[in-house]
Amino acid sequence: PLSEITVQALSFKYPNADSYTINDIDLSIHSGETIAIVGENGSGKTTLVKLLLGIYHSTKGAICINGVNIELVCRQDLYRHIAFLSQEHTIYKLTLLENLMMGLKDENETTRMSESRIQNVLESVGLKKLLTDSWQDTNIGKEFGGIELSGGEIQRLAIARIILKDCEMVVLDEPTSAIDPIQEAEILTQFIELSRNKTSVIITHRIGICTQVDRIFVMKQGCICESGSHEELLA
Ligand code: ADP
């Protein structure tokens, strides 16, 4: 199990960049915690998360998963434990069911997944209206005789997919795109609720959400300039 992620003196520079995007960061994330990462655009939030997930390699410093340097951890094993919803997530022009099953670890799991479990998750992310009699075969995309989803619905479907993957840790990089703020807050709240017993890391620009998390990391110019609970930061 994933019990702790620790980061020591982490710095990162994009190839060909003049300066560091991540500057000497120390942090730790414990099992079961819900963490929000906030900060201005360009402060390095997405880059930090991609480093924590081993998608990028650190320039300096170390990231350890349960005390083992991430560079020594098999990525395939790691990603069995972590579900990541990136800003670049995609909904494919396949059926609704195929889209939902995409993140699962193997075929056995897909076969074992009960219909009621999938229906419950779709309901919990606010997509009950997609549960028609033949919902499993519903195609996504008008050009395939299917349905067209709104930006908010695509977001909800992507969240349903990572909830069904049922990993110990979930990481969400909130898109800053076209969803209206009320819907967005609602989707995030649902996501936090559904991830209660998991380790969760959420990049968000919605400060209101921070009352619902255990700890907040505030980023500025590649550093964590403040961290703590919502009350601690207010104080
Ligand atoms: P945030 O998520 O806080 O908006 P990012 O981590 O996306 O910040 O970006 C931090 C900085 O790194 C920005 O200045 C951005 O331009 C730069 N950056 C992001 N991705 C790349 C890349 N692939 N190559 C070079 N620079 C990048």
Q: Taking CA 196 as the corner, what is the angle to CA 52 and CA 27, rounded to the nearest 5 degrees?
A: 30
Query: Which residue positions in the chain have pLDDT lower than 70?
Result: 105-108, 110, 175-179
Q: Residue 48 CA: which ligand 1 atom is closest? A: 6
| Assessment of whether the complete model's pTM goes beyond 0.85 | yes
Contact indicator for 176, 206 with CB cutoff of 8 Å = no
Give the model confidence (pLDDT) of 46-91 as tens digits. 999 999 999 999 999 999 999 999 999 999 999 989 999 888 778 8
- Probe ligand 1: pick from 16, 18, 21, 225, max atoms within 8 Å of CB? 21
Distance 44 CA to ligand 1 centre (A): 6
| 92 Cβ contact list (under 8 Å, min separation 6) | 98, 99, 102, 140
Kindly state if the Cβ of 21 falls inside 6 Å of ligand 1. Answer: yes
Among protein residues, the one whose CA lies closest to atom 22 of ligand 1: 14
Structure tokens at 186: 């609602």
pLDDT of residue 185: 81
With b for 16 or more beta-carbon neighbours within 10 A and e for fewer, the 86-97 pattern comes to: beebebeebbbb
Three-state DSSP state, 208: helix
